[in-house]
Amino acid sequence: MIKYVKLLDNVVELGCHVGCSTKILSRLCQDGTVYAFDNSPESTRAMNNLKIEYKNIEFSNVDVRDKKLIYEFSKTHEKIDVLCVDLGGGYHPDTVFKVFFLWSSILKPRVSLIRNRGLIDFVNSSDTTENILSHKGYLSSSSNEIIPNELKNK
């Protein structure tokens, strides 16, 4: 993670939980902002305390699977450099992929960092001839297909 996050970066972290990775991200992008999201009950208190110590953290206790959330966020946050996804431990790789695909397709970050063993196992087990391209932080071969019309002219 350290080599991908720069001083001025704006970072979206999906699945921050109690902020262990958020602290690291906040230090790496001191002149940027870390937008941290999680819907677990443990997150709110821990992240609100962390925001006191690290002024460049903005936390929201929300469900990142909610399409309305990403649409509203993207309308007011045009430049996201890094997308970090850490959802569900090793479970539910399909959900992790859907969340990554939606957020990265709309935000188009320079780099995406995904932490989920189940997703890696899932990808490694696939057998496809489909041309999947990702030269940036999102799947450039199919990202435009998911973006709603009202967000395409961003």
Pair 154, 72: CB distance under 8 Å: no
For 71-125, the pLDDT digits (tens) are 999 999 989 999 999 887 656 677 888 898 899 999 999 999 888 655 566 566 6
Q: Would you mind telling me the total number of residues written for the chain in this entry? A: 154
Q: Which domains does the chain have, with CATH numbers?
A: 2-152 (3.40.50.150)
CA angle 101, 80, 23 (to 5 degrees): 100
Per-residue pLDDT of 38-68, as tens digits, reads 999 999 999 999 999 999 999 999 999 999 9
pTM of the full structure: 0.81
